[in-house]
Amino acid sequence: MTKKYNKVLILGSGALKIGEAGEFDYSGSQALKALKEEGITTVLINPNIATVQTSEEFADKIYFLPVTPQYVERVIDKERPDGILLSFGGQTALNCGVELYQSGVLEKYNVEVLGTQVDVIMNTEDRELFNNKLDEINVKTIKSEAVESLDAAVVAAEKVGYPVIVRAAYALGGLGSGFCDNEQELRALVEKALSFAPQVLVEKSLKGWKEIEYEVVRDKYNNCITVCNMENFDPLGIHTGESIVVAPSQTLSNDDYHYLRELAIKIIRHLGIVGECNIQYAFDPKSMDYRVIEVNARLSRSSALASKATGYPLAFVAAKLGLGYGLFDLKNSVTKVTSAFFEPALDYIVCKIPRWDLGKFHGVKREIGSSMKSVGEVMSIGRTFEEVIQKGLRMIGQGKHGFIENQPLRIDDLDKALREPTDRRIFAIETAFRRGYSVDQIHELTKIDKWFLHKLENLYNTAVALEQCESINEIPSELLLLAKQQGFSDFQIAKAVLKTDMDSGDDANLDVRRRRKELGITPVVKQIDTLGAEYPAMTNYLYMTYNGSSHDISYENDKRSIVVLGSGAYRIGSSVEFDWCSVNALLTVKKEGYRSVMINYNPETVSTDYDMCDRLYFDELTFERVMDILDLEQPHGTILSTGGQIPNNLAMRLDAQGVNILGTSARSIDNAEDRHKFSAMLDELGIDQPAWRELTSLDDIHDFVAEVGYPVLVRPSYVLSGAAMNICSNDEELERFLQLAANVSKTHPVVVSSFIQNAKEIEWDCVAQNGEIKLYAISEHIEFAGVHSGDATIQFPPQKLYVETIRRIKKISSKIAKALNISGPFNIQYLAKNNDIKVIECNLRASRSFPFVSKVLKINFIDLATKVMLGIPVEKPSKSAFDLDYVGIKASQFSFSRLQGADPVLGVDMSSTGEVGCIGDSSSEALLKSMLSVGQRVPQKGILLSTGTAKMKADMLDSAIKLHKKGYQLYATGGTHQYLNDNGVPAIRAYWPSEPDRTPQCVDLLHDHLVDLVVNIPKNLTSTELTNGYKIRRAAVDLNVPLITNARLAAAFIDAFCDLTIDDMEIKSWDEY
Amino acid sequence: MVFSTKGSQQINFIQFVHMRETRKAVLILEDGTQFEGFSFGATKPCAGEVVFNTAMTAYPESLTDPSYLGQILVSTYPIIGNYGVPPRTMRDGMNDFLESDKIHPQAIICQDYSWDYSHWNAASSLAEWLVEENVVGVYGIDTRALTKLLREKGSMLGKIIVEGSGEIEFYDPNAENLVAQASCDEVIEYGKGNAKRVVLVDCGVKNNIIRCLVNRGAHVIRVPWDYDFTTIDYDGLFIANGPGNPDFAEATVENIKKALEGDKPICGICMGNQLLSKAAGARVYKLKYGHRSHNQPVMEVGTTRCFITSQNHGFAVDTTTLSPEWEPLFINMNDGTNEGIRHKTKPFFSTQFHPEACGGPTDTEFVFDKFMDSINK
């Protein structure tokens, strides 16, 4: 290291969104650890309050502010750091850094960019600069030739080489595009294309090519290593974030592997990257031809995966290299004795599978392709491909038991399902085997390498063998072992053997478990050590496999282990907040002198960092695997309440096996989870709840509605159509929705509850010990009930609740805590109208808002809850929310722009992918910061209003007046225009898409950039309302115009930006509040 | 019970369960430890020194590397056979894609064997090739557990008994002159039109060393290990890699000593490094379990230059015993062992690692450039 830095600024990535998720909490946390080790003061800007990196243990100064040039400059002005790290906060941080560099801010304040320099970043970000740069060293990139005549097209095709893809320029929807294998085909296609487009793009067709990635590291001394390579199971054309990926590559020969490795090093040296980067290649399956797809000159989703896949801490090392170290200065953090200048040797295989939540959105297509739609991912580790693919398909948590023995899919056109990739294609492959397709046929349709398909065929063959057994005891032990080595779960085996005779999945599961234990078929624990067992590992980064004969570690059996179950794949409704909870539980367990043990399989998390706990099992959170681990660990106890719903759901089954669940008992958890039991308990306690009933026929539903009146909330049980909860306001909506949501029947009952309009929704987050409340936080939704609590904007402490309401909520919560004898974290959601309080839901686990309230109140709820669960007596903290002279606001991040076609309207089902939490001296200040953090912008020109029902219009009137006074041009659709006019607010009438003959059209206003904020509030769910509103909302999302669809939130946001400017706000770090 | 596959044939149970033609096979180590697996190669017993390699690719290259002569090769990477085996075509007296003309180890052991391979350049499966060359292959063995055992106890002798193929005694290849076995019997020339004459002492040479020299303008004269090359006219001397204990190659060392008296460039790789060191007065010792991998970090002494290298050796040079005209050139960054030496004044140097790669990283191919540059000077 040549220079000493005193203070370094790190930019975070903000809210989790599609394409930029938990991996940057992991990389940022690693960078912070690396700097801390050097004694450097760290300043972090990241509004994502639920992250682990925004904890006092990680950074010295934390700013919960938008990662935008304006705010970052003000922090720089205040903090005066001497260095800045741009590559640990995804594209958000990188873009912000580039802007700060270009505007001269970094130079002005003399802030040095550590690691890869900004001009290098720009060379990788700009397609043309990038291609030129790689041309300099004769490295092939993907290029298209623009031609305007047939002859020129022929020349271009010769140049790029057949097959080629031809695209007509300026044509929408791929009109005139196609593949050509030879000149004859090319002539025919180009002739046609030129008839309606002036220009044609000719590009080498890479259809069916392999997609291969390398993670490359370089230090300032020009030393390079490739830490890992990865191979996509899906061929080129599917975004790597949407692909199933394995590491290391499986189908590359030594020549292939090292050819691409050598190129990667040549490229990183030529570009001049210092730190880490990711290189993606397209690789011809029939030769050694290649194209460089792109280079990410920063830590990425792939680099996080590579770190977890290999045990090589890429982000940590990259941060050290940024400070000027050479790779030879650093040690391998697993062996502690060997050098960090090395390339990990894996003696296992990992498989990453994306987690999609497409069923949560209305209107979105299931096809996957070049843009990312997945919201999370899992990584499975094993010693055969069969084992990892099956583990992984269970981990994604979409009701699958592995590759095979699932509920059969309904596939009408199998060839299409194979040819056109969707989130479910791998299951179509299983169907294809069932229908007698050969590997060759499937390869022809999918272009997936036959190596992978043969492995999948092995699974099919084993399943067929199992299906021929007549009882579980009759399965030959060799076959049972083979099935386990191929990753079959006990359940899959039971299902294959028993088929439809299976009364209870649980019992059959246990039967297989018993049988294989009798036969001595149990998994072994293996360690990830980066060097293929060549050197001993000093860390306990573990996985379980049936492909092995002995354990890598020995167990103490001292009853000092505490096992914490993690939260699994990030998905809508469960993400980084539960990782924060899990990590904090681990920290407290360790602090209290126990051995901390983690089970989790999400490569984007901090909890799966092997230095966060004493033993990390990177493995499944299924009943079977958790029991396997508990059998070995023989822990003092197991914590289920900090990892969200996945561990919580295991409570009863683990309890039945005699597992010591720490904290609240499994019976209590069941009493809260089971709708009927919970409701009966509330009745007994005299606690009010919205009227509800579980119904099995349409007539019953109508009868119930007649009783409680519209609107009602309808919740179908799990159905294949993917339709979720909805509010229905009239018979038409109810019937339409029930049709959509499939067959109501005895086995598929529907829960209907009365829906209370214009009610406040209130969150109660709490820690109790032996039924007595020790610590609580009450927060208030800005939106009225009806917006899912995960999508709502939440303020804490509450600003507009009656004291009476608060008192009542406390009282009810105490009763519930006592009745369920809660010990540990829990959350209750309340409805409040006037002072009438109703309980909507109660979860006996940490909730999504725990990190938010912990950080705003500055008391760690999980630390306290963990102590409670460990049986340590705790005092009630003396501080309460009433002492706070500031406000925290949590706002939601939506990723609709990534989800083509999805209706960006909010409802009772959650659709946000992330959140931020900002603190301000006033509610308006906190709201403004948090809204700007989730991508809203203060409008400069015009605002388009269509503000829903009469009540909503009235609610919005004051805001409209404010906007007018501020000088904004208002546009409004019919009813809203009339209303504003009647109330003396000038606005220009704009027309709905259903009034195509009139101008100005709403959508045109967006296209013409006359409007830079859209407030569009649907009245109800009638079809025209949705179609009209949908088109406007979708246009706003597609044209990147800020959109708000809730009246109360819109009013609050408008108030905030009319009353305050960014310059008015004081820049304060977390500890300054 | 009766099983039937898609084709409805009834077959041996093990074969049915594994869906392939296979037999049980057991690896027995000299300390008595046994590992059970299944055969995918020749049906015969075999014995040798059990060594592990942590490379994740390159089983065709490793199997044809003469340095593995007499050894039972354990792959720590669990899945082997994925991309089949390239065609065994020859050009200019050399195999196009392999490192020699045949498989040298006694056996290969892995966790999981891919019966179905996939690669455009594959001509057959690994199993077919092993059977063709009468070499044993075993899968279904916990190669990580086996490797840990070898790491802790050091390399061991072992034997493999394939069900129904008879018994065999342990065999210690290090007690024999393996260099003599791996070396060619007569002088062979490559790149005949090229201007610079390079004598290549064949201790068990890998083809890619020859390719690297020929491609750089060398007329390679490959001579047997004990051939007195000082009798022929040459511009540079190259001492190749090879198997086993370097102490058996005294004849080579004596010839090298003669060459050291002159000024013509000398380069050595692996065994070549050890023999050159011995000629320079140094002692060579056996490592506990050797370096066999594609990820060995080495540093050029006195610089900040580091390289990832491919290695395959069980012996190392004790540089403290080098005579004073010599100095270390590279060291291993993991365990500090010697990775190459050089003469302080003359153009003599060598590497313990394999700059010719095949398999492994190609970072150090510049070694050949340096050698040819010193010839061309």
| Smallest CA–CA distance from B97 into chain A, residue | A255
Residue A4 distance to chain B (closest CA, Å): 20
> Residue B73: which H helix or E strand, with range?
strand B71-75
Res A716 pLDDT > 70: yes
ipTM: 0.96
CB contact under 8 A, B308 and A342: yes
Residue A245 distance to chain B (closest CA, Å): 16
Taking the C-alpha atoms of residue A465 and residue A460, their distance in angstroms, rounded to an integer, is 9
Provide the 8-state DSSP code for A883: G
Interface of B with A in 89-128 (CB under 8 A): 97, 111-112, 114-121
Residue A163: cis peptide before it, omega within 30 degrees of 0: yes
- What average pLDDT does the structure give for chain B? 94
Q: Comparing C-alpha atoms, which of A117, A42, A126, A53 is closest to residue A86?
A: A117
Res A901 pLDDT > 90: no
B302's CB contacts (< 8 A; 6+ apart) are none
* Residue A209 DSSP SS3: coil
In chain B the first and final C-alpha atoms are separated, in Å, by 77
Residue B14: pLDDT band (50, 70, 90) is low
Res A839 pLDDT > 70: yes
- CB count in 10 Å sphere of residue A978: 14
* Secondary structure string (H, E, C) spanning A924-958: HHHHHHHHHHCCCCCCCCEEEEECCCHHHHHHHHH
Sign of CA dihedral A46, A49, A55, A58: negative
Instruction: Encode pLDDT of A229-238 as tens digits.
Output: 999 999 998 8
Res A714 pLDDT > 90: no
* Residue B251 DSSP SS3: helix
pLDDT attached to residue A732: 83
Taking the C-alpha atoms of residue A547 and residue A193, their distance in angstroms, rounded to an integer, is 55
Asked if B122 and B98 count as a contact pair (C-beta separation under 8 A), the reply is no
| Smallest CA–CA distance from B83 into chain A, residue | A251
Residue A743: pLDDT band (50, 70, 90) is low
pTM for this predicted structure:
0.95
Asked if A236 and A207 count as a contact pair (C-beta separation under 8 A), the reply is yes
| Adjacent-strand bridge partners of A695 | A750
B360's CB contacts (< 8 A; 6+ apart) are A254, A258, B55, B58, B294, B309, B310, B311, B354
Extract the runs of DSSP E, i.e. beta strands, from A162-274: 164-168, 178-180, 200-204, 210-218, 224-232, 245-247
CB contact under 8 A, A454 and B118: yes
Residue B108 distance to chain A (closest CA, Å): 16
Residue B47 distance to chain A (closest CA, Å): 22
Cβ-based burial of A23 (10 A; exposed 0-12, middle 13-18, buried ≥19): buried
Which whole number is the average pLDDT over A64-81? 97
pLDDT attached to residue B2: 40
Asked if A521 and A481 count as a contact pair (C-beta separation under 8 A), the reply is yes
CB contact under 8 A, B78 and A450: no
pLDDT attached to residue A981: 95
Residue B92: pLDDT band (50, 70, 90) is confident
Any chain A CB within 8 A of the CB of B192? no
- What average pLDDT does the structure give for chain A? 93
Any chain A CB within 8 A of the CB of B217? no
Q: Comparing C-alpha atoms, which of A785, A795, A788 is closest to residue A837?
A: A785
Res A656 pLDDT > 60: yes
pLDDT attached to residue B1: 38
Q: Comparing C-alpha atoms, which of B125, B26, B136, B37 is closest to residue B83?
A: B125
Any chain A CB within 8 A of the CB of B334? yes
Which residues of B are catalytically annotated?
270, 354, 356
Asked if A790 and A573 count as a contact pair (C-beta separation under 8 A), the reply is yes
Instruction: Encode pLDDT of A521-575 as tens digits.
Output: 999 999 999 999 999 999 999 999 999 999 999 999 999 999 999 999 999 999 9
What count of CB pairs under 8 Å joins A to B?
Answer: 196
Tokens representing B26 are 């057991």
Q: DSSP string of B328-364?
A: EEEEETTT--EEEEEESSSSEEEESS-TT-SSS--TT
Q: How far is CA A822 from CA A684, A845, A860, A928, in A?
A: 18, 10, 18, 37
| Smallest CA–CA distance from A551 into chain B, residue | B145
Which whole number is the average pLDDT over A766-794? 95
Phi-psi region of A182 (alpha: psi -120 to 50; beta: other; left: phi over 0): beta
Provide the 8-state DSSP code for B105: S
CB contact under 8 A, B142 and A327: no
With contacts defined as CB-CB under 8 Å, which chain A residues touch B212?
Answer: none
With contacts defined as CB-CB under 8 Å, which chain A residues touch B60?
Answer: 253-254
Which whole number is the average pLDDT over A919-930? 97
- Measured between CB atoms, which of A265, A461, A547 is closest to B19? A461
The angle, 0 to 180 degrees and rounded to 10, between the axes of the packed helices A576-591 and A861-869 is 50
Residue B252 distance to chain A (closest CA, Å): 32
Provide the 8-state DSSP code for A402: S
Q: What angle do CA A1011, A1013, A1018 make, to 5 degrees?
A: 110
Any chain A CB within 8 A of the CB of B342? no
Radius of gyration of chain A (CA): 29
Which whole number is the average pLDDT over B131-145? 98
Which whole number is the average pLDDT over A759-783? 97
Any chain A CB within 8 A of the CB of B361? yes
Asked if A222 and A269 count as a contact pair (C-beta separation under 8 A), the reply is yes
Taking the C-alpha atoms of residue A439 and residue A393, their distance in angstroms, rounded to an integer, is 20
Q: Comparing C-alpha atoms, which of B290, B293, B249, B279 is closest to residue B77?
A: B293
With contacts defined as CB-CB under 8 Å, which chain A residues touch B19?
Answer: 458, 461
Q: How far is CA A1060 from CA A120, A885, A1063, A1066, in A?
A: 38, 18, 8, 11
Mutate to test the interface with B, among A210, A226, A254, A263 (most CBs of B within 10 A): A254
Which whole number is the average pLDDT over A675-693? 95
Taking the C-alpha atoms of residue A873 and residue B290, their distance in angstroms, rounded to an integer, is 55
Asked if A190 and A200 count as a contact pair (C-beta separation under 8 A), the reply is yes
Taking the C-alpha atoms of residue B179 and residue B257, their distance in angstroms, rounded to an integer, is 18
- Measured between CB atoms, which of B17, B18, B78 is closest to A347? B78
Which whole number is the average pLDDT over A1020-1044? 83
> Residue A259: which H helix or E strand, with range?
helix A254-271
Residue B29 distance to chain A (closest CA, Å): 16
Taking the C-alpha atoms of residue A839 and residue A866, their distance in angstroms, rounded to an integer, is 26
| Smallest CA–CA distance from A549 into chain B, residue | B142
Taking the C-alpha atoms of residue B22 and residue A1, their distance in angstroms, rounded to an integer, is 57
Find the range with the poorest average confidence among A338-342, A875-879, B76-80.
A875-879
